[in-house]
Amino acid sequence: MTSPQQRLEEIAKQEQSLADEKAKLLADSKDADLDTVKKLCKQHGFTATQLRSVLAKKGKRKTTPTLTTTVAVKKTAATKSAIKK
């Protein structure tokens, strides 16, 4: 009987070998898949605008400003009267 730690190590090795095999299969089929996509785009006349939601984006994404930078500071009554004088 194997200990739980040994079994976990075996599973980790199996996961790694499966991940390696998956990466190899994906790399091998990439060119054929790209040819298929090109053929279908030409056949149906798809444009980049129509495919925009599924295509990878170029460049950096702009970050949105945080809430703390957009919130205005509220002036108290004492500060308002001091400003008027």
Within 8 A by CB and 6+ apart from 41, the residues are 51
**Could you tell me which of 56, 55, 29, 28 has the C-alpha nearest to residue 41?**
55
Which tokens in the block code for residue 58?
């170029």
Domain spans in the chain, listed from the N-terminal domain onward:
1-56
Which tokens in the block code for residue 48?
């980049």
Residue-by-residue pLDDT tens, the chain, 85 positions: 679 999 999 999 999 999 999 999 999 999 999 999 999 999 999 998 998 888 888 877 666 666 555 555 566 666 656 666 5
pTM above 0.85, yes or no: no
Cα torsion angle, 16, 19, 25, 29, sign: negative
